Amino acid sequence: MEMRTLNRFPLPISAILLDLDGTLLHSAPELAEAANGMLRELGCPAVSQELLMSYIGNGISWLVKRALTGDMHAEPDAALYEKALPVFEKHYTGLLLQSKPFAGVMQGLDAMKVAGFRLGCITNKVARYTEPLLKGSGLAQYFDIVLSGDSLPEKKPHPMPVLHAAQFFGVPVERLLLIGDSLNDTLAARAAGSPVFCVPYGYNHGEPVESLDSDAVIANLSAAMPLIKRI
């Protein structure tokens, strides 16, 4: 585990926000399978799961665009995208509930609740997927607030969801810890002024999370506990 500015720990924290895909849930296989199902139905060549995993992290819209173009930032033909998106959604809806929590997630969430932390989930996934996923995976019970990609006018990496959660919990944003797995999470936290930890097993476009501006890289959720104190 890599930690930065070691003498700051334990951080004074009142509530914890957790990212969904790549932090709590291993959803990449289902997302990749849905993307390839979409490509096959459109008569396009399939893409490797490894490459599709590198496309995950900015919401389904960008996953579809990247699968269509083979590029992280390119815009596909508008008519093709409009045709492709509902095809992807059809395939993904059928696969949604196959996603499972990563090893150690339930134990980490249990430890946080026992310690008295209030928890929230923050994701760029739209609510029509977030809600059944949380319920089906047994995670819904842990969260006092769930912010999906369409819950607010802005989503990560914008700070709005983090600031909204701080207001919901009634805590200063600097005492709201965000735990995620990608650049979007660190950008949102830093823009809001909150501390952020990263897990190394998620979906950061194939780049190591150690290169991100986080306060700590933790092996699993339970590893956050010695680094924080509840206030």
Q: Which residues are catalytic?
A: 19
Q: Is 196 left (phi over 0), alpha (psi -120 to 50) or beta?
A: beta
Burial code of 1-23, b = ≥16 C-beta within 10 A, e = fewer? eeeeeeeeeebebbbbbbbbbbb
Structure tokens belonging to residue 229 = 């104190």
C-alpha to C-alpha distance for 143 and 65, rounded to whole angstroms: 31
Q: Dihedral of the CA atoms 56, 149, 97, 134 (nearest 10)?
A: 120
Residue 152 identity: L
